[in-house]
C-alpha cells in the first residue's frame, strides 16, 4: 500500500512525547470510553429507565391517591423508581469497561503505554465514576420531568428544601456510581465479562434477597451489611427505611449504609489493585 511513503516517518522532526501523568491517563480513558458505541447505548438505556418508570409509577399511584392518606407518597421515590434497572445496566457497563480490555487484548496496549499499571486502574475508575454520576443526575432530572404531570393527582411533590427529598434525589447518582465502582472492581479481579456480570447481578438480585428472606435474625443482620442492601439505604425514604430497619433489626442510617457500600467498593478495588500489580497481563 505505501512502500513509497515509509521514509516520511523518519525525515519528520522527532515527535514531542510528554511524561505519562494521571490527567493524561484519564483523558485517554475518556477517549476509549466515548469511542465505543456500546457505551452510548448503555448510558442511553440507563438514563431512559428513569423517565419511563417514573411516568408509569406516578400514573398508577395517581389513580389510587384518593383512597390514600395525604402525603402517603414520597415524590422523589417515584421520580427515581428507574434506579434498579438503571443500576443493572450501569453495573454491566462497569464490568465490561475493564473485562473487554482483557477479552480483546487491548490491555497489552494499555499497559505498555502505562507500565506502572495502578494509575490505569484509577484513571478508568475516575472516568467511570464521572460518567455514572452524570448519567444518574440526568436520569433523576428526566424522571422528575416525566413524573411531574401526575404530582397533583397523586398528591405528592418534590421539595428540594426538605433534606429527605434532597437525599433521595442526589443519593441516586451517588449510589449508582458506587455500585458501578463495585462492579468495576469485580470485573478487574475476574477479568471475564461473563463471570463479572454474573457475580454482580447474582449478588444484588439473588444472594442479597435470599439472605434477607431467611427468617433467622443474625443472618438478616448480616444481610443488611451486604453492598447493595447497605448502599440502597441512601435512596430509601425515611418511612420505608424504618419498616426495613425494623424487620431486619439493623439500624443502618442512610449515610452509614452508604459508607458500608463504599467499604465494599474499597475492598474490591484493593484486591483488584494487588492482582493487577502481580498478574501477568
State the residues that interact with other proteins by CB under 8 A: 1-3, 5-10, 12, 14-20, 24-25, 27-29, 31-32, 35-38, 100-101, 104-109, 111-116, 278, 280-281
| Residues 184/97, Cβ–Cβ less than 8 Å | yes
Residue closer to other proteins by CB (options 14, 161) is 14
Q: What is the CA radius of gyration of the chain?
A: 22
Min dist CB 6 to other proteins, Å, is 5
Residue closer to other proteins by CB (options 106, 242) is 106
Min dist CB 9 to other proteins, Å, is 4
Please name which of 188, 167, 147, 215 lies closest in space to residue 273, comparing C-alpha atoms.
Answer: 188
The backbone region for 121, taken as left when phi is positive above 0, alpha when psi lies in -120 to 50, beta otherwise, is alpha
Residue 45 has φ and ψ, to the nearest 5°, of -65, -45
Min dist CB 110 to other proteins, Å, is 8
Residue closer to other proteins by CB (options 113, 214) is 113
| Residues 277/117, Cβ–Cβ less than 8 Å | yes
Residue closer to other proteins by CB (options 19, 218) is 19
| Residues 184/95, Cβ–Cβ less than 8 Å | yes
Min dist CB 130 to other proteins, Å, is 16
Min dist CB 117 to other proteins, Å, is 8
Min dist CB 204 to other proteins, Å, is 26
Residue closer to other proteins by CB (options 28, 272) is 28
The backbone region for 168, taken as left when phi is positive above 0, alpha when psi lies in -120 to 50, beta otherwise, is alpha
CA distance 229 to 178: 13
Min dist CB 126 to other proteins, Å, is 14
Min dist CB 187 to other proteins, Å, is 15
CA distance 32 to 117: 17
Residue closer to other proteins by CB (options 12, 70) is 12
Residue closer to other proteins by CB (options 17, 70) is 17
DSSP-assigned states of every residue in 148-188: HHHHHHHT----TTSHHHHHHHHHHHHHHHHHHHHHHHHHH
Integer angstrom CA distances of residue 152 from 50, 74, 158: 19, 12, 11
Residue closer to other proteins by CB (options 119, 263) is 119
117: how many CB neighbours lie within 10 A of its CB? Answer: 16
CA distance 25 to 58: 43
Amino acid at each position: 500500500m505505501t512502500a513509497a511513503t515509509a521514509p516520511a516517518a523518519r525525515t519528520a522532526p522527532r515527535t514531542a512525547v510528554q511524561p505519562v501523568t494521571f490527567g493524561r491517563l484519564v483523558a485517554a480513558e475518556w477517549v476509549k470510553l466515548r469511542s465505543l458505541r456500546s457505551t452510548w447505548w448503555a448510558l442511553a438505556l440507563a438514563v431512559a429507565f428513569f423517565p419511563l418508570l417514573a411516568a408509569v409509577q406516578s400514573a398508577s399511584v395517581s389513580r389510587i391517591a384518593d383512597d390514600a392518606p395525604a402525603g402517603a407518597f414520597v415524590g422523589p421515590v417515584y421520580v427515581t423508581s428507574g434506579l434498579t434497572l438503571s443500576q443493572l445496566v450501569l453495573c454491566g457497563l462497569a464490568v465490561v469497561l475493564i473485562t473487554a480490555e482483557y477479552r480483546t487484548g487491548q490491555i497489552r496496549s494499555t499497559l505498555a503505554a502505562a507500565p506502572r499499571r495502578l494509575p490505569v486502574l484509577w484513571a478508568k475508575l475516575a472516568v467511570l465514576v464521572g460518567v455514572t454520576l452524570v448519567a444518574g443526575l440526568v436520569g433523576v432530572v428526566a424522571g422528575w420531568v416525566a413524573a411531574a404531570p401526575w404530582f397533583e393527582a397523586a398528591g405528592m411533590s418534590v421539595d428540594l428544601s426538605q433534606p429527605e427529598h434532597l437525599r433521595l434525589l442526589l443519593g441516586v447518582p451517588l449510589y449508582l456510581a458506587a455500585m458501578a465502582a463495585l462492579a468495576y472492581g469485580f470485573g478487574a479481579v475476574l477479568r471475564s465479562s461473563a463471570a463479572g456480570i454474573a457475580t454482580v447481578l447474582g449478588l444484588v438480585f439473588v444472594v442479597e434477597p435470599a439472605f434477607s428472606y431467611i427468617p433467622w435474625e443474625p443472618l438478616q443482620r448480616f444481610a443488611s451489611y451486604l453492598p447493595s442492601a447497605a448502599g440502597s439505604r441512601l435512596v430509601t425514604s425515611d418511612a420505608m427505611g424504618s419498616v426495613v430497619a425494623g424487620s431486619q433489626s439493623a439500624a443502618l442510617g442512610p449515610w452509614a449504609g452508604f459508607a458500608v457500600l463504599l467499604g465494599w467498593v474499597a475492598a474490591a478495588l484493593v484486591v483488584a489493585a494487588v492482582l493487577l500489580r502481580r498478574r501477568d497481563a
